[in-house]
Structure 1
Amino acid sequence: MDNKPANDVAATVDVAYTRLLRHNPKSFLKLILIGFSLVLLPLIIALVDSAVTINQLAEQSRQAVYQATQIAHSSRVLADEIVAMERSARQAMILDDDGLLEGYFHAHDKFAKAAAELAALNLSSAQKQGLLQLQKNELAIFTQVNASRATPAKLQDSVSGFSQLLDVAHTFSTAGYNLIEQEADALQIKAARARKRVVWQLLGLIPFAIILALGFSVVITRPIRQIEQAIRRMGQGQLNHAVRVEGPEDLSKLGDKLDWMRLRLLAVETQKNTFLRHVSHELKTPLTAIREGADLLNDGVLGELTPKQRQVTVILHKNSVQLQRRIEDLLSYSAIQQQQSSLIKSPVLVQSIVDAVLQDQALAVMNKALHIDLNISPHLTVYCDESKIQTVLDNLLSNAIKFSPSAGRITIQAQVVDNRVHLDVIDAGLGIDDADSALLFAPFYQGRRVAQGYTKGTGLGLAIAREYALAHGGDLRVIAREGVGAHFQLILPLNDR
């Protein structure tokens, strides 16, 4: 599959992040506020635009309702005054009483006022034309009535014109109502367009805001992840990686302080390893002399010993050997920490490694009358550093013997799984406390459970064993087991590929 688009996106993000770092705020809080503001900005713009659109629609609706109300009211006034003028004119004509025309002139004034109010409104051209026609016809009737004011009986022609004038008023009123309906339809169309516009804005701006939020979350969390990674490395003892934090100035300074702490820890670790190495070498020389002197006494070179004297020499020899192993553990651990422990690999039979370790531990096995169950193919070969893997297996078997009860059973088995050799050492002893599982391979750590009759060691055996396993590209782990006993599994690559 072609990963070029993904690589281009990653490169674009890195370039954008590098440009952002050049203008980084000095405070992590400012960076958060900037990110928060930029994420909210599109939504605020959409909200303001929606508010403006809704306000415009509300204003147009208000104006339309006001104009519709005015047109309806004035149109009704025009029709009512036309009826009033016609009634007054007919009464004056029938009774031949010009005094009754006062009602006509009063209705005429109201008609003129209502027509003026309508003319002041924002009417369409058709409405304006209809209103002018209505005023013109009314003015013609008014002129006739005013001319015949002295002889009301001659108002027959004028009275007959009111029917036509009323028809024109009704036509004008109907046109007004039609226009109101058109305005309402136009407002509905505008409202639908505004609603659609808001929906599209939300569909466009919400993903954009989410993308901005994700982008700033990367920018904000990257320095935090760098700090977390640096702390985790230092906690795991990986002090050779420089701490570099890219981000706001305060987090960058925190990264500098962490790097200073790393250098201090590295210096302390170097001093500790140097001290262990020097002390171990200083102790090794006099210890060798003590062990050799005990051997000479035990061999009778300086004369025959009494049984009690021979018992003392055996104790001296046994403890000197035990102490020498502790010193060798310290030297091995120091070499591992200084990365001076090189591997000399060669094809080795697993059975030969196990036989060599069993031979070294034969006396301890006999003392506790232990039964050793072997399940190893005689032709199984692994490519490894024989001496170091022998050290690993010796440590595992030594612990199994130490914690196994008398006449107990220890199982050593090996099998190939996925081109890797799994070498298991299983005992029936006290087992491993749950609280010890996480720290079992930590240097100098000693478990809560102690075997009777044994002195606590340095706590380096399992730590060195696992380092040797990891150096081979394998691992050493504890397999959870129900009931009593412990189960350790050494994993090694079958070959050096």
Structure 2
Amino acid sequence: MSLLRPKSFQVFIVIGFGAVLMPLLITLIAAEVSVSRLVDKGTEAVYRSVAATDGGRIMLEHLVDLERKSRQYRVLKDPQLLEEVAEKYHEFFDSLHHLRSLSPPDAQQVLDQLLLEVGILVTALQRSGGPAPDLDTFAALNELAKAVYFNSYELIKQEVGAMQSHADRTQMVLLWTSLALVLLTLALVGLFTRLLARPVKQINRGISRMGAGDYDQPIRVGGPQDLQFLGERLNWLRRRLGEVEREKTKFLAHVSHELKTPLASIREGSELMMEEMAGPLNSQQREIVHILQKNSLQLQKLIENLLGFSRGQALGEAETAVDVLALVEDIMEDQRAAVLKKELKMRTSLSPLQLQGDRDRLRILMDNLLSNAVKFTPVGGVVELSVGRDGDMALIEVGDSGPGIQVEESEKIFQPFYQGSAPCLSHVQGTGLGLSIVREYVDSLSGRVDVGQSPAGGALFRVWLPLAAEDLA
């Protein structure tokens, strides 16, 4: 099992947290060790300073006692006093030797000189029959001992300065160590964040592609084994959805094709009857034939929507420059009967533009928008149609005075087979494919469509489509 590819996502998170916390723990341990060393160094410095000061004081006291005993022996010549002189000398020697171990090299030389001169005086005092030593020398020796005693304070200053320098160095080491470990922590956080986020992003991209209808590109998910297994399941779901989508498209295409054949016979028969090829018709028969023709046209439009929906996911047709005015004129001619029957007011504002796209698709797109507006507009209502420029795109707006579209349904209405809550004011219920075909065709042309509220009170569909090269020049 690799550290970067553990068996489970949970283990991976634990490894990530452990790796991120490790530099912080190292920083705490390093700080503890450095502070402990600093404390030990400070304690040692204080001890040496206090010991040196105390040793200097004791040495000076022993030297004074030695001088007093020497002068007493000089006057009284008592052998007992001479033994006390020797004892005081040994005490002075021990204190000076201890002080010497605590002193810096330059102070040690002074102590050696003091020990030598005191030793000469004591030796001369102990030698019988020799010249009497000059005990007034003790005054100079006392001054020298006092100088050594006061120099011990300088030792304290030196120790304090050394301790301060050591503290400064420790502070800088801790600072740079902490900075380096913080940077390492941030780098590890970035690394594990990326490693954690990458499989999630891969899953999200795969789901988004499936939501957009792309079932061809495989889904690859890295990271821990459980996430890889999840990626494999998503791949299985992608293949199944692709199969379902293909079967659905095939089914719609077959059904639509099979419906068109008998429908063509019905239309041809109704047209022959309307032309009285089988004999004259009375008024009632003519009305029945008219109803038959009208509903066969409506049925043909529904079948074309089914065909258009199944064809909308295939490759696009060859794009050409399409005249908007001629296209709108053909569509309005097809809707003339429905407009007259419902006594609708048509308001148009058309600019002579050229659209870039497949003419059949553009015709179905605009016909679906206009027939939708006619279908949901009440008798005596208003339908508005405008075509104009919006930057480098053509803007098509189709509005009506019908019941409009609820805000929460503004996206759902573009889904296949979705029937909105607005009441249909036509005798023929739609399939719910018209607006989904509009969205399919608009997307295939790299356009955009949205829905809002019309100034007339109903729905307003706005479609942006690319202009032909002639109108972009």
- By the TM > 0.5 criterion, same fold? yes
Q: Partner of 2:411: helix, strand, or coil?
A: helix
Identify the match of residue 448 of structure 2 among 465, 471, 475: 475
Q: Which residue does 1:373 correspond to in 2?
A: 347
Judged with a 3 Å threshold, the aligned counterparts in structure 2 of structure 1 residues 192 and 322 are, in CA distance, closer, same or farther, namely: same
Q: Which residue does 1:11 correspond to in 2?
A: none
Q: Which amino acid aligns with 1:470?
A: D
Tell me if structure 2 keeps the 8 A contact 1:84–1:103.
no
Q: Which residue does 1:246 correspond to in 2?
A: 222
Q: Which residue does 2:461 correspond to in 1?
A: 488
Q: Which residue does 2:323 correspond to in 1?
A: 349
Identify the match of residue 300 of structure 2 among 324, 348, 352: 324
Distance (whole Å) between structure 1 residues aligned to residue 85 and residue 39 of structure 2: 42
Distance (whole Å) between structure 2 residues aligned to residue 129 and residue 246 of structure 1: 76
After superposition, what is the alpha-carbon deviation per residue over 1:44-66, rounded to whole angstroms, capped at 9, x for unaligned? 44544444333333222221111
Tell me if structure 1 keeps the 8 A contact 2:270–2:289.
yes
Identify the match of residue 227 of structure 1 among 203, 214, 219: 203
Judged with a 3 Å threshold, the aligned counterparts in structure 2 of structure 1 residues 97 and 482 are, in CA distance, closer, same or farther, namely: farther
Distance (whole Å) between structure 2 residues aligned to residue 140 and residue 21 of structure 1: 81
Distance (whole Å) between structure 2 residues aligned to residue 344 and residue 168 of structure 1: 114
Aligned-pair RMSD on alpha carbons?
A: 3.3
Distance (whole Å) between structure 1 residues aligned to residue 320 and residue 12 of structure 2: 57
Q: Which residue does 2:412 correspond to in 1?
A: 439
Q: Which amino acid aligns with 1:160?
A: D
Judged with a 3 Å threshold, the aligned counterparts in structure 2 of structure 1 residues 81 and 480 are, in CA distance, closer, same or farther, namely: farther
Distance (whole Å) between structure 2 residues aligned to residue 445 and residue 488 of structure 1: 17
Distance (whole Å) between structure 1 residues aligned to residue 449 and residue 381 of structure 2: 24
Tell me if structure 1 keeps the 8 A contact 2:321–2:355.
yes
Alignment of 1:152-191 (within 5 A): 157=133, 159-191=135-167
Displacement, 1:481? 5.8
Displacement, 1:446? 1.8
Tell me if structure 2 keeps the 8 A contact 1:349–1:382.
yes
Tell me whether 395-404 or 381-390 shows the greater mean CA deviation: 381-390
Q: Which runs of 5+ in 1 are unaligned?
A: 1-19
Distance (whole Å) between structure 2 residues aligned to residue 212 and residue 282 of structure 1: 63
Tell me whether 39-48 or 356-365 shows the greater mean CA deviation: 39-48
Distance (whole Å) between structure 1 residues aligned to residue 436 and residue 402 of structure 2: 21
Q: Which amino acid aligns with 1:241?
A: Q
Query: What TM-score comes out, normalization by structure 1 length?
Result: 0.83
Q: Partner of 1:440: helix, strand, or coil?
A: helix
Tell me if structure 2 keeps the 8 A contact 1:298–1:310.
yes
Tell me if structure 2 keeps the 8 A contact 1:402–1:454.
no
Judged with a 3 Å threshold, the aligned counterparts in structure 2 of structure 1 residues 483 and 37 are, in CA distance, closer, same or farther, namely: farther
Displacement, 1:358? 0.9
Identify the match of residue 384 of structure 2 among 402, 411, 418: 411
After superposition, what is the alpha-carbon deviation per residue over 1:347-382, rounded to whole angstroms, capped at 9, x for unaligned? 3321111111111111111122222222113x4222
After superposition, what is the alpha-carbon deviation per residue over 1:74-124, rounded to whole angstroms, capped at 9, x for unaligned? 1111112222333444456667777677875664454344234335x3543
Distance (whole Å) between structure 2 residues aligned to residue 410 and residue 350 of structure 1: 18
Tell me if structure 2 keeps the 8 A contact 1:411–1:427.
yes
Identify the match of residue 194 of structure 1 among 170, 175, 200: 170
Identify the match of residue 36 of structure 2 among 22, 40, 55: 55
Alignment of 1:229-378 (within 5 A): 229-302=205-278, 307-337=283-313, 339=314, 342-377=316-351
Tell me if structure 1 keeps the 8 A contact 2:9–2:226.
yes
Tell me if structure 1 keeps the 8 A contact 2:378–2:425.
no
Distance (whole Å) between structure 1 residues aligned to residue 331 and residue 21 of structure 2: 70
Would you say how many aligned residue pairs link Structure 1 and Structure 2? 470
Q: Which amino acid aligns with 1:431?
A: G
Q: Which residue does 1:133 correspond to in 2?
A: 113
Tell me if structure 2 keeps the 8 A contact 1:245–1:252.
yes
Q: Partner of 1:375: helix, strand, or coil?
A: strand
Work out the percentage of aligned pairs sharing the same amino acid: 36
Tell me whether 268-277 or 243-252 shows the greater mean CA deviation: 243-252
Tell me whether 64-73 or 216-225 shows the greater mean CA deviation: 216-225
Q: Which amino acid aligns with 1:393?
A: M
Query: What TM-score comes out, normalization by structure 2 length?
Result: 0.87
Tell me if structure 2 keeps the 8 A contact 1:450–1:456.
no
Distance (whole Å) between structure 2 residues aligned to residue 170 and residue 251 of structure 1: 82
